[in-house]
Structure 1
Amino acid sequence: MEFLQTLFSYVDSLTWGWALIPILVVFGVFITIMSGFVQLEFFGRMFRVLSSKNQNNDPNAISAREALLVSVGGRVGGGNIAGVAVAITVGGPGAVFWMWCIALVGMATSLVECTLAQVYKRKDGEDSFRGGPADYIRRGLGANYNWLAIVYAVCLLAAFGLGFNAFQGNTVAGAVQDSLGMNRYVTGALLAIVTALVIFGGIKRIAKAADVVVPVMAVGYIALAIGVIVLNIGELPSVIARIVSSAFGYEEAIAGGMGAAIAQGLRRGLFSNEAGLGSAPNVAATALVRHPVSQGITQSFSVFIDTILICSCTAFIILLGDVYVPGAEGIDGVVLTQQSLASHYGDWSRYALTAAVLLFAFSSIIYNVYLGENALAAITGSKQAITVLRAAIVGIVFLGAAAPGATSVFFFSDPMMGVLALVNLVAILMLFPTAMRVVNDFRAQLKAGVERPIFDPASFPDLDLDREAWNTKRWK
């Protein structure tokens, strides 16, 4: 065991330690420039997904909005509450500025990877689809790269399907125990039961659950933050000025100055919005849409919601309060957010934050379950294996909640996520020309006056596409 821990520690250092974050940033900037700032070009179209009239007309399929909400539920988690607080504590207010920057860059990365997931998705039953990086590696790069698809799938299963679910269960149980005094075993049992009721219904039930849970948690948390801003509206300009000045080192608030602000902002932003990590494309591929780029735009919007909206909410709650003291030690993470919220509203708000943590963690669990299922499907394709995985995940969620020490078993999660991110980045770099062909097809149709472009696989005869997944007759 000690040997494995040492091995994975080296893997973690080689990925997250020094290589992965600069690569994600550089590659995001590359995509942004080479695509002609595609995330800004289609920014106005992102909000169309919120309208019911822009959804598909098949009630049995996953809609674009449902896929959006599942991915938002997965991206938005403890990092939006605790992670932002840590970034501010270690990197100062300037970390928030760099978090915004990496979100804007990440929107382009997410658009490209999720567009590819849609292009190479395959039909999985009458009204459902599967896809993701494992599929665009196999279908886009060819059979010689099947081994790379397996490496990606194994890492996705280990990190998201198994490890992160234990940590989410632990997060929920810890928050409930601290605020309500509820026994961890009781919380674990309740969480496991609710998880089982949702995940054994497959992606369609997961999507339906997300359609309810995610708007409640997101709107509720944003409402709390707006209330804080309204209560402290006079201080808002000075707080924004502090964020910008600290970002460029004009207002040194922490050890490390500008460098610490950049490092923390980029790291926490990437951890939170997952752009380029190869997780969200698995959900993006499930949606029934007219054109791959439309779902790419939708998933780009998911990054905006996660970082520009939700993470900013936490930042303003902290920076508009009087609990955070630059350079001070002892209060960070969720405790800093909790105490800052209480300084604005009173002690009752601690319970509201506990509810937010619970919803954030639960939405992440059901998202992670589907990622694990999709990874296993890419490895084996066995329906029985997926059923066994669902049962195992329910047990893992319970163990993570009831026995916090059990999460140490999943020390491989972060290194595995680092490896899958590198694999995904290599794949989308190699497939970037294909992605741009599809984006340009979307642009050409818009320029020709087509309000809602339709993807015609016949226009891409050289690509290994599932023609049944792209049956244009349904849109006639």
Structure 2
Amino acid sequence: MFKSLENFIANFSSWIWDWPLLILLIGGGLFFLIYSRFTPFFYFKHAIGILSGKYNDAHDSGQLTHFQALSSALAATVGMGNISGVAVAIVMGGPGAIFWMWISALIGMATKFYTCSLSIMYRTEDDQGKLLSGPMYVITKGLGHQWKPLAIVFALAGLIGTLPAFTANQLTQTLVDVLDWTDSDKWYIGIVLAAITTLVIFGGIKRIGAVASRLVPFMVVLYFITVITILIIQIEKIPEMFTLIFSDAFSGKAAAGGALGYLIKTGVKRAAFSNEAGIGTASMMHGTAKTNEPIREGLVAMIGPAIDTLLVCTLTALAILSTGVWQSTSDNGVSLTLEAFNSVLPYGLGDIVVMIMVLVFGFSTLFSYSYYGTTCLSFLTKPKYGKYYNYIYIVSIVVAAVVKIEFAINLIDSAFAIMAIPTVISGLLLAPKVNARAKIYFKELKKY
């Protein structure tokens, strides 16, 4: 029976991630990019200023600072997708898939500007005064009650898409590989992961934000130093790797069957998992930011894809490609990244570094994703019932620890695809509202 479920999920993922959805994501992102006249990109420095707390106002409504909101969103994106997801992209689509991840990230920056600005514009409060936000509230408040079925579709898919299937799976696999344990130990690892995650997620969004704001800067800096060290050792190969990425991006020679279309789809899918632009999860987190200015949070959200895909994913890709392990092994996911690190770093150091990074990246993702599922269940039922999603979430960590990586990938990809449809459609329909607010905001900003 489980084999039949695996096949169904695999076939569904392949079907829904075909050209119509890619056109929606890439075409929608290009629309946002052109419709904004690239204006948000000219205010990237201002976005950094917002992030630093320069414009914080204690009287603004919200639960997280700009920095905590971005850190929490990044905690979910700068995670296993950057260590394991990049390896999956290279194995499935070849080096050229990285180029299409870059393109998707640049377009995704514009998408995040619009969707996360809307999340502030159309957020709501529950009975206890806590803010609720995300595409489902953007749809119902921004487009009207007649669009609620679209919001329900997003929330239902969100209950699955925010499960920790991929993260818990790859976190467990790393421990098994590094510590030379057996597959039967995965159950015990899953139980321990679930117990640690419980301590954080039952503390609510503020505890998640507090933990994420400490973990994210540390993990990005540590990972950056580690991979840069590998690249310095392999410095003579770096120009060749960039050439390989660009040449393969349009030939698709390394992709399955040499199909360029397959290569593009692989890059876009893995980028969607990496930065979640257009998926709608990040807007749930950014919507809790302590601000009354939607455009301000939209600018902060734009920084996300730049960090997690253009910076961190690129570093991982260069580390894997420069070592050449992707051509000489059947490993996939985190096992491939681990082999790349071990092939360059002194004996045992690669294991230690990757294990530390996977633990930090993995747990940060586990903490943030739980909030997304809670928000979706709150919308489908009542806000007071949202917390019960955490129990399902904890159990799923144990289950995810023992399933095959292919099933985990296909399950999350399928849910993300369904979530993207309401998110992008609502963003396109409400884009004029964002432009109107942006025009006022940037005009006022020039006075100072």
TM exceeding 0.5: yes
Q: Is the 8 A contact 1:77 1:361 kept in 2?
A: yes
Partners of 1:70 and 1:341 in 2: CA distance: 27
What SS class does the counterpart of residue 431 from structure 1 fall into? Answer: helix
1:277 positional shift:
0.9
1:59-106 residue CA offsets vs partner (Å, 9 max, x unmatched): 993100000011101112322122212322343322222211111111
Q: Is the 8 A contact 1:118 1:284 kept in 2?
A: yes
Q: 1:343 to 1:406 in 2, by over 3 A?
A: closer
Q: Is the 8 A contact 1:167 1:407 kept in 2?
A: no
Q: Is the 8 A contact 1:400 1:406 kept in 2?
A: no
Query: Aligned to 1:141, which of 130, 140, 143?
Result: 143
Does 1:36 pair with 2:37? yes
Does 1:400 pair with 2:383? no
Q: Is the 8 A contact 2:136 2:379 kept in 1?
A: yes
**Alignment correspondent of 2:247:** 245
**Alignment correspondent of 1:175:** 174
* Amino acid corresponding to residue 294 of structure 2 in structure 1: P
Deviates more, 1:126-135 or 1:56-65: 56-65
Pairing of 1:307-322 with structure 2 (within 5 A): 307-322=309-324
Q: 1:124 to 1:338 in 2, by over 3 A?
A: same
**Alignment correspondent of 1:159:** 161
State percent identity of aligned pairs: 32
Over the residues paired in the alignment, what is the CA RMSD in angstroms? 2.8
**Alignment correspondent of 2:381:** 380
**Alignment correspondent of 2:125:** 123
Q: 1:412 to 1:293 in 2, by over 3 A?
A: same
Q: TM-score, normalised by structure 1?
A: 0.84
Aligned residues: 441
Does 1:437 pair with 2:439? no
1:156 positional shift:
0.9
Partners of 2:125 and 2:39 in 1: CA distance: 28
1:263 positional shift:
3.4
What SS class does the counterpart of residue 178 from structure 2 fall into? Answer: helix
What SS class does the counterpart of residue 19 from structure 1 fall into? Answer: helix
Partners of 1:90 and 1:199 in 2: CA distance: 34
Partners of 2:319 and 2:96 in 1: CA distance: 15
Q: Could you say which structure has the larger radius of gyration?
A: 1
1:51 positional shift:
2.0
**Alignment correspondent of 1:27:** 28
Query: Aligned to 1:233, which of 214, 235, 240?
Result: 235
1:406 positional shift:
12
* Amino acid corresponding to residue 22 of structure 1 in structure 2: I
**Alignment correspondent of 1:474:** none
Q: Is the 8 A contact 2:274 2:309 kept in 1?
A: yes
Pairing of 1:169-248 with structure 2 (within 5 A): 169-181=168-180, 183-248=185-250
1:280-336 residue CA offsets vs partner (Å, 9 max, x unmatched): 1100100012411111111110111110011011011112224233xx562433222
1:361 positional shift:
1.9
**Alignment correspondent of 2:330:** 330
Q: TM-score, normalised by structure 2?
A: 0.89
1:265 positional shift:
2.3
* Amino acid corresponding to residue 42 of structure 1 in structure 2: Y
Deviates more, 1:290-299 or 1:78-87: 78-87
1:125 positional shift:
6.9
Structure 1 residue ranges without an equivalent (≥5): 451-476
Q: 1:9 to 1:243 in 2, by over 3 A?
A: closer
**Alignment correspondent of 1:349:** 350
1:19 positional shift:
2.2
1:259 positional shift:
4.5
Deviates more, 1:164-173 or 1:24-33: 164-173
Q: 1:173 to 1:330 in 2, by over 3 A?
A: closer
1:187 positional shift:
2.3
Partners of 2:411 and 2:272 in 1: CA distance: 19
1:53 positional shift:
3.7
Deviates more, 1:316-325 or 1:290-299: 316-325
Deviates more, 1:201-210 or 1:52-61: 52-61
Partners of 2:262 and 2:13 in 1: CA distance: 20
Deviates more, 1:270-279 or 1:8-17: 8-17
**Alignment correspondent of 2:305:** 303
1:168-203 residue CA offsets vs partner (Å, 9 max, x unmatched): 222222211221246334422322222111111110
Q: Is the 8 A contact 2:13 2:410 kept in 1?
A: no
* Amino acid corresponding to residue 247 of structure 1 in structure 2: A
Partners of 1:412 and 1:266 in 2: CA distance: 16
1:133-166 residue CA offsets vs partner (Å, 9 max, x unmatched): 1111011011111222222211112321xxx324
Q: 1:94 to 1:185 in 2, by over 3 A?
A: closer
